[in-house]
Structure 1
Amino acid sequence: MKYCAFLRGVNVKGTNMKMAEVCQVFKDAGMEDVVSILASGNIVFSSDKKAGELKKILEKAMSDHFSYEAFLFIKSQEEIENFWNRNPFEKNTDLHSYTFVANDGIENILMKEFENVIKTENEDAKIVDNIFYWQVPKGNTLDSTFGKILGKKSLKDQFTSRNINTFEKILKKF
């Protein structure tokens, strides 16, 4: 089965790693057809194992190799198609749209956080089929009140986010 692993916190705040090295860790852990998409920790691969088992194997392999606490979210091709197809926001060159790859239920926590912050003009969030989507004006992602909440340590193992365009690139690799 084809999967994509979404790594949390890669190439930010001192956790730097080359994607070629990450791919090698995946191969050494028994994954096949391994390829990275962008430098933000998106690894497409094949395996006969289930996503839950893969998460444990790959988090341990990444943690051991890079000496950091790895958090990965493993999604199937079908799940990634859902992320792409259910995006509720229209394409707008002035806005970034993000999709959150997350543990079950985190979308409701994120929505409560979003509802309680001061928003920038045109900033919006929606939940579609248990997937949290966030749209923010370009240049405001890290400066927005909600963007700052996303870095909370208490949430670090709960989700990772990607620009919606990343899912299109991943789907093309499948």
Structure 2
Amino acid sequence: MKYCAFLRGVNVKGTNMKMADVCQVFKEAGMLDVGSVLASGNIVFSSDKKAEDLKEILEKAMSNHFSYEAFLFIKSQEETEIFWNSIPFEKNDDLHIYGFVGNPGVESVLMGAFEAASKTENEKADIVNDLFYWQVPKGNTLDSSFGKVLGKKSLKDQFTSRNINTFEKILKKMN
């Protein structure tokens, strides 16, 4: 089965790694057809194992190789297609749209945080098929009230986010 591993916290805040090295760790952990998409920690691969087993195997391999506490989220090609096909917002050159990959139930936590946050014009969030999506004006991602919530250490093992354009690139690599 084809999967994508979405790594959290890669190539930000001092956790730097080359994607070629990450791919090698995946290969050494027994993954097949390994390739990366962008430098933000998106690894496409094949395996006959279940996603929950892969998460454990790959987090351990990454943690050991790179000497950091690895967090990653494994989604099948079918699940990644659902992310892409469920986007609730219209594309707009002035806005970023993010999809959040994470543990079951994290979408409710994120929506609660979003509802409590102050918002800029055109900033929206929605949950579709248990997936959380956030729209924010370009240039406001890190400065927005909700954007600051996303960096909380208490949430680091719960989710990671990607611009929806990344999902499109991942799906092209999977096909």
In structure 2, the gaps of 5 or more residues are: none
- What's the TM-score once normalised by structure 2's chain length? 0.99
Alignment partner, residue 151 of structure 2: 151
Query: Does residue 16 of the first structure (1) align with residue 16 of the second (2)?
Result: yes
How far apart are 1:26 and its partner, in Å? 0.2
Amino acid at match of 1:41: G
Secondary structure at the aligned position of 1:69 is classed as coil
Q: Distance in 2 between matches of 1:47 and 1:117?
A: 40
Alignment partner, residue 100 of structure 1: 100
User: Which whole-Å deviations, capped at 9, do the CAs of 1:21-67 have from their partners, x for residues lacking one?
Assistant: 00000000000000000000000000010000000000000000000
Query: Does residue 163 of the first structure (1) align with residue 163 of the second (2)?
Result: yes
- What's the TM-score once normalised by structure 1's chain length? 0.99
Q: Distance in 2 between matches of 1:160 and 1:122?
A: 22
Moved over 4 A (4+): none
Alignment of 1:19-30 (within 5 A): 19-30=19-30
State the aligned residue count. 174
Q: Distance in 1 between matches of 2:150 and 2:63?
A: 22
Alignment partner, residue 82 of structure 1: 82
Alignment partner, residue 69 of structure 1: 69
Query: Does residue 134 of the first structure (1) align with residue 134 of the second (2)?
Result: yes
How far apart are 1:74 and its partner, in Å? 0.2
Q: Distance in 2 between matches of 1:3 and 1:108?
A: 25
User: Which whole-Å deviations, capped at 9, do the CAs of 1:136-158 have from their partners, x for residues lacking one?
Assistant: 00010001010000000110000
| Identity level (%) | 80
Amino acid at match of 1:27: K
Q: Distance in 1 between matches of 2:23 and 2:117?
A: 38
Secondary structure at the aligned position of 1:10 is classed as coil
Q: Distance in 2 between matches of 1:5 and 1:67?
A: 18
Q: Distance in 1 between matches of 2:47 and 2:102?
A: 21
Alignment partner, residue 115 of structure 1: 115
Alignment partner, residue 31 of structure 2: 31
Q: Distance in 1 between matches of 2:67 and 2:36?
A: 20
Q: Distance in 2 between matches of 1:56 and 1:113?
A: 28
Alignment partner, residue 49 of structure 2: 49
Q: Distance in 2 between matches of 1:67 and 1:3?
A: 24
Amino acid at match of 1:137: P
